[in-house]
Structure 1
Amino acid sequence: MDVMIFDPWHWWLHSGRKQPRDLVIYGNTTVKDLDHLTAYEKALETWAKWIDGNIDTTNAKVFFQGVSPDHDRGQGSKAPNCDGQTQPLKGLGGQVPHPEEIVWERISNSMSKPVHLLNVTAVSQLRIDGHPSVYWG
C-alpha cells in the first residue's frame, strides 16, 4: 500500500518579511502579496482536484496534516517567542477553530476521494514550544 502525507500549511502561514513567496499565480491571474489564507485555499483546491483525479485510494492511503498553531510570542513571560516556554496555551476548552481548519473542512468535504486528517492543532497547543526544532526561525 502506498501512503501519502501532505503537510502544506507551513508554507502558507508566513506574511510580511517572512513570506517565502512574492507572487501567486493561479489560472491566468498573477497576484502580488496574496492574503495567505486565500493562497492556502487556492492551493488546497488545486491539491484536492489532483488527488480526486489521480490517486487510486483502493491502493493508496492519503493523509493530510492539519494546522500547527503559530507560537510566535511567549505567553506570560517577557520572551519574544516560544523558545523555552513549557506551559500550554491558555483557553484550550471550547476553542474556536482556526480559519485554516475551516478552509480544510470545506475543501475535504467537497472531495470524492477519502483523505484522513492528522489533526495536530490541539496537541500542538499543549506545548507553546512544540516546534520540531529550535532552529525554526
Structure 2
Amino acid sequence: MSDQLACGKFGRKDLSYQFWRWQPHQCDLPRFNATALLERLRNKRLVFVGDSLNRGQWVSMVCLIDTSIPDPSLKSMHYNGSLITFKAIKYNASIEFYWAPLLVESNSDDSVNHRLPDRIVRVQAIEKHARHWSDADVLVFNSYLWWRRSKMEVLWGSFESSDGIHKEVAMPRVYEMALRTWSDWLEVHINRAKTQLFFVSMSPTHQSAEEWGGAEDGNCYSETEPVMKEGYSGGDTGSEIMPLVKSVLDGLNRRGLNVQLLNITQLSEYRKEGHPSVYRKQWEPLTENQISNPSSYADCIHWCLPGVPDVWNELLYAYLVRE
C-alpha cells in the first residue's frame, strides 16, 4: 500500500468513504470475485499503464486479488524501474503497473524522480515504454493529470542530442498529438485476437468547494460525505481533454481495434470525501503556514484505499468476466 493512499494509516478516522458502491442505471454490476478473475487471467498479463491515479487503481486491484491468495509462497512482487509486477504464481497471472504518465516519452519518465514543473514530451516517441507492455493480454491506460497545463514543450529529436527542435505547443493540441502516436502504435502492434484494451476516463479533482456549495476558499479537506446532488459535475468535467480521447478511440474502433472507455468520471464526481486530504505521507516537511491551514496541503487529486478506485475495478471486472 502506498503511503500516498493509506489514509487510515495516517490518522483518518471516518471510514464511511470505504463503503459506498456504484449502481449504474439499467444494469447490475457483478460482485467482485477474485478467484473468478484470476481464473480469467490464468497465464495472462494485466497491465495498467499511466500515472499515479492509474497506479492507485493497480494497487486497488492487487489488494482485491491478494486476499484470495493467503499463502505468501504463492504470490510475489517484483520491481524493475518503471514496471512493478504482482504475480499470482498458482495461476501464472501477472497484474502489473508501468509508469508512463504522458504515455509517450518525456522528461518525467523516472518512476521516482519525476516531479518536474517544466515538462518536455517527445510526442512521436513511444517505443521506449511500449516495449514493456507489447505482449500484454489486458491493457488499461490512463493519461490526464500530467496534461493539466496551458501548454507544454515538445521535442523533435532525442534527449541525448543537442540538435533537436523544441517548441511550445498549446493544450489540448499537444495532448492530441501524443494520443495519435499512442493510437498508431496500438493499430500496428496489438494482436486483435488476444488483447483487450481499456482507457480510463478522467479522474475528477475536488479542489474548489464552491463547486458543490462549500466555502469559497475550501476544497476536499474535512469532507466526510459525497455530493448528493444527482448529475453533479465539477469544473474539470467540461475539459476539452476527454472529448479528444473519445475521438481517438472512435477512430481506432472504426479501424477494427476496439478500445473500451472505462468511464469513471461521473461516479467519481460525487466522491468529494474520498481523497487523502491531509491523511497521507508528506514528501517534504510542512511549513508553519501549511500546518496552520491544513486545506492548503490537502491532496484532493488522489484517492484513499480502500475506496473509490475499488469501484473502478468493479467496472473493469464486469468487462473482463463477461462472456
TM range (shorter): 0.7 to 0.9
More deviation, 122-131/92-101: 92-101
| Alpha-carbon distance between aligned partners in 2 of 1:126 and 1:88, rounded to the nearest angstrom | 5
Q: 1:101 to 1:72 in 2, by over 3 A?
A: same
Q: Which residue of 1 aligns with 2:271?
A: 127
| Alpha-carbon distance between aligned partners in 2 of 1:99 and 1:58, rounded to the nearest angstrom | 32
Q: Which residue of 2 aligns with 1:57?
A: 192
Q: 1:97 to 1:80 in 2, by over 3 A?
A: closer
| Alpha-carbon distance between aligned partners in 1 of 2:273 and 2:170, rounded to the nearest angstrom | 26
Q: Which residue of 1 aligns with 2:179?
A: 44
Unaligned runs of 5+ in 1: none
Letter in 2 for 1:126: Y
Give the structure, 1 or 2, with the largest relative contact order (CA under 8 Å, sep 6 or more). Answer: 1
| Alpha-carbon distance between aligned partners in 2 of 1:37 and 1:62, rounded to the nearest angstrom | 23
Q: Which residue of 2 aligns with 1:102?
A: 243
Letter in 2 for 1:109: D
Q: Which residue of 2 aligns with 1:92?
A: 231
| Alpha-carbon distance between aligned partners in 2 of 1:10 and 1:89, rounded to the nearest angstrom | 25
Q: Which residue of 1 aligns with 2:261?
A: 117
Kept in 2, the 8 Å contact 1:23–1:31? The answer is yes
Q: Which residue of 1 aligns with 2:56?
A: none
Alpha-carbon displacement from aligned partner over 1:39-65 (angstroms, at most 9, x marks no partner): 221111111111111111211111100
Letter in 2 for 1:8: S
Q: 1:30 to 1:40 in 2, by over 3 A?
A: same
| Alpha-carbon distance between aligned partners in 2 of 1:89 and 1:11, rounded to the nearest angstrom | 29
- 1:122, distance to aligned residue in structure 2 (A): 0.4
Letter in 1 for 2:215: S
Match of 2:220 among 82, 92, 95: 82
Please tell me whether residue 30 in structure 1 is matched to residue 166 in structure 2. Answer: yes
| Alpha-carbon distance between aligned partners in 1 of 2:191 and 2:241, rounded to the nearest angstrom | 26
TM-score (norm 1): 0.74
Kept in 1, the 8 Å contact 2:232–2:270? The answer is no
Letter in 1 for 2:231: L
Aligned pair count reads: 130
More deviation, 118-127/98-107: 98-107
| Alpha-carbon distance between aligned partners in 2 of 1:129 and 1:49, rounded to the nearest angstrom | 38
Unaligned runs of 5+ in 2: 1-43, 45-136, 158-163, 281-298, 302-323
- 1:24, distance to aligned residue in structure 2 (A): 1.9
| Alpha-carbon distance between aligned partners in 1 of 2:187 and 2:145, rounded to the nearest angstrom | 23
- 1:93, distance to aligned residue in structure 2 (A): 6.1
Query: Which 4+ stretches in 1 moved above 4 angstroms?
Result: 26-29, 93-97
- 1:119, distance to aligned residue in structure 2 (A): 0.4
TM-score (norm 2): 0.35
